[in-house]
Amino acid sequence: MRIGELAARAGTTTRTLRYYEARGLLPARRGNNGYRTYDEDDLKLLRQIRTLQDFGFDLEETRPFVECLRAGHPEGDSCPASLAVYRRKLGELDALIGELQAVRAQVGQQLERAERARAELAADAEVPGGPEPVCELGGDHR
């Protein structure tokens, strides 16, 4: 198949395919007419790249999976280098999850503090002569 058909079937653009070719991820085969030619294996390779990118893998992280497919393995993740990338990515994700959980805990504490302060202001406002709650963003929003 030609580059336009491959791009359409893979759900990408011909520009992206040329970029993958320049990066060595997609083979650069040419027919007798000088046009790029591709086959079903190339489509499988592109689907592997696309799936990994949807999972948050950067393009270079897909290389071991591509090489595994090119080596003739039925799946791109059956090679040791691919498994190592999976392990590394899981470690990165676990670290990010930990960071997000810490940020969430801090935001939750800030919310609790802010709600207590607001409740105290509201209680003081009900006492004759107590302060009126005022929004810090400007104006009196009671």
- pTM, two decimal places: 0.74
pLDDT of residue 118: 85
pLDDT at 103: 97
Question: What distances in angstroms separate CA 79 from CA 40, 46, 65, 74, one per listed residue?
Answer: 21, 18, 8, 10
Do 4 and 14 meet the contact criterion of CB atoms below 8 Å apart?
A: yes
Look at residue 121 in the predicted model and tell me its pLDDT: 81
Task: Give the per-residue pLDDT at 73.
Answer: 95
| Residue 127: predicted pLDDT | 66
Residue stretches of the chain with pLDDT short of 70? 125, 127-142
Residue-level pLDDT at 24: 94
